[in-house]
Structure 1
Amino acid sequence: MNMKEIFQPIFSLLPQVRSPTYRVPFKEKLKWTGVILILYFILGQIALFGLSATAVDQFAQLRAVLAGEFGSIITLGIGPIVSASIILQLLVGGGILKLDLSTHEDKAFFQGLQKTLAIVFTLFEAAVLVFTGTLAASSPSLTWLVILQIFIGGILIIFLDEVVSKWGFGSGVGLFIAAGVAQQIIVGSFNFLSAPGQPGVPSGAIPQFFYSLTTSQPDFSLLLPVLAVIVVFLIVVYAESMRVEIPLSYGGVKGARGKYPLKFIYASNMPVILASALLLNVQLFAALFQKLGFPILGEVSNGQAISGLAYYLTVPSGLGVLFTDPLKVLVYGVVFILLCVVFSWLWVELSGIGPKQVAKQLHGMGMQIPGFRSSRAQFERILKKYIPVITVMGGAFVGLLAFGADLTGALGGGTGVLLTVGIVYKLYEEIAQEQLMDMHPMLRNFLGGD
């Protein structure tokens, strides 16, 4: 009995979001995306019953990437989904799990396995966070109730993500990250309510800056997180527009020419999400091993790593860390950027946008490169000159940008801002294309519609 025969009965027991049997119109996609977004914000307001007042947010610096609301039933956010994706990508990329994701059967098996693993991770992460004291229950009798609430919230996020992927725009993972970061940026910039312990002093960066003008000399450092958001936004928008364009001609129509664009950020923003989630799991396992009496990854105190590998792989925040602990900044920066490069390569290979897959697609459409013989091998040879290079360079670039933005203390987290800009940019392109196809149905075949 092979692996597929073992897992298929399990997949059949899992609840499924029905796939549409027709092309979902633009307005219906917009409706589903809006409904899921509202449900996500509502879930973030449902507090965990029985949570201890001493609970600490161990992943506060990665909260934007997790897209979860600490203390609510969706505290885990997208963590289990991304953790499952990391495991499977490493298994498939390393050849341990032999799947051909270009086939419908293997792709469906991969998705089923990812959902199953995400559910397992949801229960595992909920149990670890509660038993290690990070999300401790207010009394021992409520321990399993707290775990159950976190588990239910995690399952809801998994299925909300599936609804968006099948019936809405983009993916739930991207939508939840963008929504959470946008909320943090707006509240962090414009909140006029008093800061904790400072009656009368606004907590938002911009109101607080104007308040400083009326009481003493202006504190321009208050605006640094806001300026960092703007700088990251402009850099990412510019990088998104950078591309290599390969000239194409259509063999069946004389004079018909076009260009195939290869974006500089070729692997999109997924490598940053995967790298951040992997480092998050290092923190999680450090706390677990310490609880078991084997602090092999370092020691954790009050939800924060204070020594060992876990400490050096914790996000450094604030430019002051460059002077107080430069070794930590160097180690984290190098590891984070290398992980982004590795996950960029894996994402390109596993998502069907590598040289071999793109060459097969273009050749099958009857395209050819002017001045070259029309063959799939020729396409692949030319694409291999560009795709591997921009994959590595693009992965290193987004890793470096996210790392640098985190050091500035940008609102929403530097990594969160980077991801949000990329997600919104891609979402805008998808919405514009979908609207165009609704207005001009004859363009559907050309743009890949059903």
Structure 2
Amino acid sequence: MGFLDFLAKLSVFIPTVNKPVRKPSLYRRLLITAIVLILYLVMAEIPLYGVKTAQQQSQIYLYQVIFATSTGTLMELGIGPIVTAGLILQILVGAKLINLDLSQTEDRKKFTAAQRSLAILFGLIEALAFVLASRYWPYVGNPLTGSEASWAIRIGVVLQLTFATVLVLIFDEMLQKGWGVGSAVSLFILAGVAKTIFWDLFGYTPQLGQHVGFIPNLIQSISNGKLSSALIRNGLPDLVGLVGTASFIVLLVYLQGMRVEIPIASQTYRGVRGRVPLQFIYVTNIPVLLVGIVVSNFQVFRAATQALAGTGNIAYKVFDKLTYYLSPPRGLLASIEDPVKLAVFVVSWFVLGLLFGYLWVEIAGLNPREQADRLIKGGLDIPGIRRNPKAVESLLARYIYPLTILSSIIVVGIAIVADILGAYGSGTGILLAVGIINQYYALIAKERALEAYPILRRVLGEE
């Protein structure tokens, strides 16, 4: 029995959610989705028992945006274990390192079961890493043996974080299996970005001397007769960031609506012609997401090596440099303070974004070969092209690879410029949020159409 089979069998011990016998109405599913969202927000405010508030280390900003985490609460790990498990398995399957055909029902069930077990395993490992590094408590000498917290408290924190990971997994299954709409992973990312943008707009912090939020700071600047101080601020939300946020949201909505259409004809029904639309942003937000995960992991490794071995070891120094030069700047003033850091940041993100965009297209089954196979198996032809996989693949390659390169450059460029301008919620957060909102809009429109015209369910094979 292989490791994947072991993980799949292990999933029987994890609580699961069954599909509803009859799919609830759209409004009921929206209500359940809203309840799941509220539960996430509540969990993000419930502090971990046994953790001292004053000792909590602030979460790394990029890590917090991507994985919807909240420091010192039940959502300390956020959706990180689930996203990491899904990405790793999908990459292994796409690279043919795991022999699974996700178009087959049994293989798809095995993949899902293994992903659930791997997510819990990652959640347990991350919780152990935080606790053994004494993230939440002061320590003397070695954090493993010199922590102020007793082993009972530390084990309790591990159990709390693991339990929270199980709950997030259950929430995600509930929504995806038909009790709600979309996925909890996407919903929690969107909620986290929305919270950040709201704080950037309305953060009221009189104890700091100046307000974090743009609106309170604008009011304070007007009352002090220093309106220019709200135009641009170092590392804090300002007018430049607000304009940048609105502009990039509009731009992303426009770009995500663009399509490149390829003419097709049906072999089964002669004379029936149509077009297959390819998204102009062919790689969606995957390159930026993967680059963000890599950079946030560097930040996590830096914090871990600092806790375990101090700041004098070579590992800490390497991760510290990588973190400094690859982390996004927070605003225009922070960007121009260190031109070398800015140049390294821009070049490295573009290079990594192009690399990840290309690899994702090849691994996720979006390459010309896979797309050509789907067209031919679906009984579709491209007019003027022989019904030959190689010929169809060659034609599709003229569209897909330029779209891959261009869309990777566009999404990474938007994320970079947004961060340089100090966009609210970060450039990565805006990309993720707009993409998720677009998915939800399309999904709700589809569900409304299916409820209005039930016969469409049979046409789409959903009954």
- Counterpart CA distance in 1 for 2:416 and 2:461 is 36
- Counterpart CA distance in 1 for 2:246 and 2:366 is 31
**Alignment-derived partner of residue 100 in structure 1:** 101
**Alignment-derived partner of residue 352 in structure 2:** 339
**Alignment-derived partner of residue 373 in structure 2:** 360
My pick for the range that moved more, 353-362 or 277-286, is 353-362
Question: How far off its partner does 1:81 sit?
Answer: 1.8
My pick for the range that moved more, 391-400 or 127-136, is 127-136
Question: How far off its partner does 1:4 sit?
Answer: 4.4
**1:181-330 alignment to 2 at 5 Å?**
181-191=193-203, 193-198=204-209, 203-219=212-228, 220-221=231-232, 222-293=238-309, 295-299=313-317, 307-330=320-343
Deviations 1:228-282 (A, max 9, x none): 2102101211211222101123344454332211012223223332332232222
**Are 1:129 and 1:136, in contact at CA under 8 Å, matched by a contact in 2?**
no
**Are 1:81 and 1:118, in contact at CA under 8 Å, matched by a contact in 2?**
yes
**Alignment-derived partner of residue 7 in structure 1:** 7
**Alignment-derived partner of residue 26 in structure 1:** 26
User: Per the alignment, in what secondary structure is the counterpart of residue 432 of structure 1?
Assistant: helix
**Alignment-derived partner of residue 47 in structure 1:** 47
- TM-score of the aligned structures, taking structure 1 as reference length: 0.88
**Alignment-derived partner of residue 174 in structure 1:** 186
Question: How far off its partner does 1:30 sit?
Answer: 1.9
- Counterpart CA distance in 2 for 1:145 and 1:241 is 48
- Counterpart CA distance in 2 for 1:90 and 1:416 is 23
**Where in structure 2 are there 5+ consecutive unaligned residues?**
139-146, 233-237
User: Per the alignment, in what secondary structure is the counterpart of residue 227 of structure 2?
Assistant: coil
Question: How far off its partner does 1:176 sit?
Answer: 0.7
Deviations 1:87-131 (A, max 9, x none): 334434544334333333333333222222221221222222333
**Are 2:63 and 2:69, in contact at CA under 8 Å, matched by a contact in 1?**
no
**Alignment-derived partner of residue 156 in structure 2:** 145
**Where in structure 1 are there 5+ consecutive unaligned residues?**
none
User: Per the alignment, in what secondary structure is the counterpart of residue 259 of structure 1?
Assistant: strand
- In the alignment of these two chains, the number of paired residues is 442
**Are 2:252 and 2:431, in contact at CA under 8 Å, matched by a contact in 1?**
yes
My pick for the range that moved more, 179-188 or 439-448, is 439-448
User: Per the alignment, in what secondary structure is the counterpart of residue 162 of structure 2?
Assistant: helix
The one-letter code of the counterpart of 2:219 is F
Question: How far off its partner does 1:38 sit?
Answer: 1.5
- Counterpart CA distance in 1 for 2:271 and 2:95 is 44
CA spacing shift, 1:236–1:51, aligned 2, 3 Å: same
The one-letter code of the counterpart of 1:37 is L
Mapped pair 1:426 → 2:446: no
- Counterpart CA distance in 1 for 2:462 and 2:284 is 21
Question: How far off its partner does 1:218 sit?
Answer: 0.9
CA spacing shift, 1:286–1:296, aligned 2, 3 Å: farther
The one-letter code of the counterpart of 1:178 is L
The one-letter code of the counterpart of 2:193 is V
- Counterpart CA distance in 2 for 1:227 and 1:448 is 45
The one-letter code of the counterpart of 1:19 is K
User: Per the alignment, in what secondary structure is the counterpart of residue 69 of structure 2?
Assistant: coil
Deviations 1:149-201 (A, max 9, x none): 2222222222222222222322222111111111222232135x443333xx6
User: Per the alignment, in what secondary structure is the counterpart of residue 360 of structure 1?
Assistant: helix
CA spacing shift, 1:265–1:42, aligned 2, 3 Å: same
CA spacing shift, 1:93–1:363, aligned 2, 3 Å: closer
**Are 1:102 and 1:352, in contact at CA under 8 Å, matched by a contact in 2?**
no
- Percent identity of equivalent pairs: 36
- TM-score of the aligned structures, taking structure 2 as reference length: 0.85
Mapped pair 1:155 → 2:160: no
**Alignment-derived partner of residue 81 in structure 1:** 82
**Alignment-derived partner of residue 142 in structure 2:** none
My pick for the range that moved more, 431-440 or 102-111, is 102-111
- Counterpart CA distance in 2 for 1:39 and 1:174 is 15
CA spacing shift, 1:336–1:92, aligned 2, 3 Å: farther
**What CA RMSD, in Å, does the superposition of the two structures yield over aligned residues?**
2.8
- Counterpart CA distance in 1 for 2:223 and 2:134 is 44
Mapped pair 1:440 → 2:461: no
**Alignment-derived partner of residue 16 in structure 1:** 16
Mapped pair 1:416 → 2:429: yes
My pick for the range that moved more, 414-423 or 401-410, is 401-410
User: Per the alignment, in what secondary structure is the counterpart of residue 412 of structure 1?
Assistant: coil
**Are 1:245 and 1:259, in contact at CA under 8 Å, matched by a contact in 2?**
yes
User: Per the alignment, in what secondary structure is the counterpart of residue 320 of structure 1?
Assistant: helix
Mapped pair 1:383 → 2:396: yes
